[in-house]
A and B are shown apart, each in its own frame.
Chain A
Amino acid sequence: METQNNIDVRERPPLSNARLAILVLLGAETMLFSGLIGTFLVFRVGNVTWPPPSHIGIELPRVVTGINTALLLISGYTMFQAWRAIQKDSVKQLRNWLLITGILGLLFLGIQGSEWVQLIRKGLTLQSGVYGGIFYVLIGCHAVHVLSAVIWLFIVLGMAMAGRFSADRYTGVDTCTIYWIFVVALWPILYVLVYLS
């Protein structure tokens, strides 16, 4: 094969193409969130009282979201375990850890969704000034990322069921893990900024 020939004559790079590409992608994702977080900070710092006076009475669900944060952090740990499992060539453990991670991710999305429903009922909508607007856009953007990570994870799970991974062939698990850890690690920053500040 052509590519085979190409690799033979070259030194093996320290990072595989797939791993390098996913790290590069995370650079772009970081900048996307930087834009949104920057916007949030402009509004947060620009307003003397936050939430603005018109929003008194609406409280963001700090406690429930705190618990939710813990769930997501745990999912980061379970994803890491899945990654460790395939390195030890244990497809069965990989499957179990992936399943737990996926369920935790779905749980996170479910809890957040129900919180949103309650907030909208209380009157915090996209239209309620920049306070509501940036809340839904920033948190929503993260939720979209969690959702896509969950979808990706279930595809990887499907591939694991089909026996596509082994200790020396696990690029799919590897890239998905890196992406998942990114999405998990981003959340505490958003939680502290949006909910606690």
Chain B
Amino acid sequence: MHDNEHTSHHEESFLRKYVFSLDHKTIGKQFLIYGLIMFFLGGGLALLFRWKLAYPEKPLPIIGVSQQYLDEGEVVTGADRMWERIYESDEEEWLELYMPAGVMTDAFYNMLFTMHATVMVFFVIVPILVGAFGNFLIPLMIGTRDMAFPILNMLSFWFAVLAAIIMMAGFFVPGGHAAAGWTGYTPLSADAQWTGVEWGQILWGLSLFVQGLSSLVGSINYITTVINMRAPGMTFFRLPLVIWSLFIVAVLLLLAFPVLSSAIVLLVFDRLAGTTFFTATAEGGGDPLLWQHLFWFFGHPEVYILILPGMGIASELIPVFSRKPIFGYRSMVYAMIAIAFLGWIVWGHHMFQSGMRPGLGSIFMTTTMLIAVPSAIKTFNWLGTMFRGSIRFTAPMLHGIAFVSMFVIGGLSGIYMANTPVDVYIHDTYFIVAHIHYVVFGGSLFAVFGGIIFWFPKMYGRYMNDVLSKIHFWLTFIAFNCTFFPMHILGVGGHRRRISNPLAEAVEVVTQEQTFADMNIFITMSAFTLGFAQLILVFNFFWSMYKGKTAEQNPWHVNTLEWEAPTPVPHGNFGQIPTVYRGPYEYSVPGEEADWTPQAQPEHAPATGGD
């Protein structure tokens, strides 16, 4: 093989190669591992508060005191001994403050759900979808050697790490972490007197500001790379759809995040410098609703930032494993552009309940409903791609199909909430919790899992274990639906979200109280199953890295350029930069011998050995 002739021969130091790497593939893998670590952290937070929702007054298992200890004061478990010691010491311990005897305080519950959403949105989904897949795939799939600005690329990763460190520090400062929800609504977040949170909210803001810098640098890099560095012959309409999605998302991130940054600047001034931008005062005060406008002007494009790359990944998986061209390539691209555009003019639909002129509300309602059109185009195109294809039910394909079906459920519940009159009723209930999880977990995360298994052979030169992948898929798929589907029913029944003790909460329909409690216990059990199922993925991931079956260069028989590069991909990616002759989805072309025609395969030479 002459593949290595273009790679640099000088030895790179350990730091340069693995830590402060400039290679887009290493940075992509760094983002992936970073995202997975944060995924477990964010999931752990969710499991903690799920326990509280199911058993509001019972101590947590393992770290909480035992029943005997509560009843008779008898020390039975190690946790009992620990709590004895904590109570005897005069020092105020962290655990004692937030979980006396293992029962979570309401204040800590507020921090947990706030940080669960913050971590998942800003530190898991975006880093994995955009950071990991974006970095790994863009140069490989457009046929270039690296990103346009490798140093900025490295900075983008280390800014993200810095942001995560700042965010995690918030748990250990006096007053605890931000507790005003991931949306940080003012005046709740603007003044410490409401939540008792002093530094947590400020660190939350600073961390997101730094994360904004990371996104900014990253998106500048992506946009420049996609526009300027495509391989010869790689026109815009020969780009794989996942690259289109990442490109559009980079534009969204670039334009949306600075608006959040401006809001954060104002919030931090309110906190630190005594301004009153978000607090209504008697004289010359500000406007609490302003925060919601600024936040959701960023926040709604952010919602599409979370889902578009998932759509892109599904658009890669489905044609490959249906062995058919994607149905309606151009309409897929235009649908994504339409979704991205509409994302800017719908932010008000988050605020129907916050006080909005009804006339304005109906405008936002209409624009929101319009999003159903491009979304439906995409869904029917995926179905059309699978229709009469020779579908291979590999693990990535299972995730791709799960993406489409879960996205449909999430999309349909979205239509309910787009309707102002319906939203007024179900706003801030578990219905919306179900909706967001169907879209972001059922949508984005299934795409992430599918993408990891699909591109793993290119990343590490080995397959992920198929049996484990499939066990992980089915466990996740079933536990996911058991966790989040009942939330629709809870929500319609009037169960509000962000309530730490559903039993104490004055639920309007008293007769349903017991039903809600049972359903909450069922949801919590399913959530724990869901959480533990992810351990299989992580075990599989690291085990396969060293012990997996060795993969050939193009194990799934895919057309796109990343599979033209040798495995493992060397520094510089390609021996000779490939030339692109066709679109990315030419599968099962009539008259071709193989059922796949790589993008880099030259125009068909006259067939040999005549038929």
Contact = CB atoms under 8 A, between A and B. Distances in A.
Interface of A: 2-3, 5-6, 9-11, 13, 15-17, 20-21, 24-25, 27-29, 31-36, 38-39, 42-43, 46, 52, 54-55, 126-134, 137, 141
B269 A133 contact: yes
B276 A133 contact: yes
B210 to A, nearest CB: 15
B248 to A, nearest CB: 14
A31 B255 contact: yes
B254 interface: yes
B228 A13 contact: yes
Interface in B210-225: 216, 219-221, 223-224
Contact of A6 (B254, B277, B285, B577): B577
Contacts of B460: none
B589 interface: no
Given A31-B255, A32-B262, 19 more contacts: A2-B145, A5-B577, A6-B144, A9-B232, A9-B577, A15-B227, A21-B149, A24-B219, A25-B216, A27-B254, A28-B220, A31-B259, A33-B262, A38-B293, A42-B287, A42-B290, A129-B285, A130-B275, A137-B275
Contact of B261 (A17, A35, A42, A52): A35
Contact of A32 (B232, B258, B290): B258
A55 to B, nearest CB: 7
Binding site secondary structure of chain A = helix
B145 A129 contact: no
A2 B6 contact: yes
A127 B265 CA distance: 15
Given A6-B229, A31-B258, A137-B266, A52 B273 contact: no
A131 B145 contact: no
Most chain A C-beta atoms within 10 Å of own C-beta, residue among B221, B228, B230, B577: B228
B229 A52 contact: no
A2 B147 CA distance: 13
B12 interface: no
Contacts of A35: 258-263, 294, 297
A3 B145 contact: yes
Top 7 closest pairs, chain A to chain B, by CB: A129-B284, A35-B262, A133-B275, A32-B258, A31-B258, A35-B259, A13-B228
B355 interface: no
Contact of B294 (A15, A27, A39): A39
Contacts of B216: 25, 28
B6 A5 contact: yes
A72 B28 CA distance: 43
Contacts of A3: 145
A126 B287 contact: no
A129 B274 contact: no
A54 B283 contact: yes
Contacts of A11: 232
Interface string B293-310: 110010000000000000
A6 B149 CA distance: 14
B266 to A, nearest CB: 6
Nearest to B255: A31
Contact of A137 (B223, B229, B269): B269
Interface of B: 6, 8, 144-145, 148-149, 216, 219-221, 223-224, 227-232, 254-263, 265-266, 269, 273-277, 281, 283-287, 290, 293-294, 297, 572, 577, 579
Nearest to B256: A31
Contact of A129 (B229, B283, B297): B283
Nearest to A32: B258
Contacts of B254: 24, 27-28, 31
A102 B101 CA distance: 64
Contacts of B221: 21
B232 A21 contact: no
A127 B262 contact: no
B274 A127 contact: yes
Contact of A130 (B148, B255, B256, B277): B277
A24 B223 contact: yes
Contacts of B263: 35
A5 B573 CA distance: 13
B227 A13 contact: yes
Given A17-B149, A35-B294, A126-B274, A10 B258 contact: no
B274 A131 contact: no
19 contacts: A3-B145, A10-B229, A16-B228, A17-B148, A17-B224, A17-B228, A32-B261, A35-B258, A35-B259, A35-B261, A46-B287, A52-B283, A126-B269, A127-B274, A128-B284, A130-B275, A131-B284, A133-B275, A133-B276
A33 B287 CA distance: 19
Contacts of B261: 32, 35
B227 to A, nearest CB: 6
B357 to A, nearest CB: 14
Nearest to A47: B284
B277 A38 contact: no
A130 B259 contact: no
Nearest to B270: A133
Contacts of B285: 129-130
